[in-house]
Amino acid sequence: MSKIEIYTWQYCPFCIKAKNLLNKKNIQFTEYKIDGDEAARDEMSLRASGRRSLPQIFINDEGIGGCDDLYELEKENKLDNLLL
CATH, residue 34: 3.40.30.10
In three-state secondary structure terms, 63 is strand
**Given pLDDT bands bounded at 50, 70 and 90, which one contains residue 1?**
confident
Domain of residue 71, residue span? 4-83
Torsion of CA 35, 37, 40, 44, to 10 degrees: 50
Confidence check: pLDDT of 32 > 90:
yes
**Given pLDDT bands bounded at 50, 70 and 90, which one contains residue 51?**
very high
Cα angle: 74, vertex 79, 84; to 5 degrees: 150
Query: What is the average pLDDT score of the chain?
Result: 96
CB-CB contact of 3 with 84 (8 Å): no
How many structural domains comprise the chain?
A: 1
Report pTM: 0.95
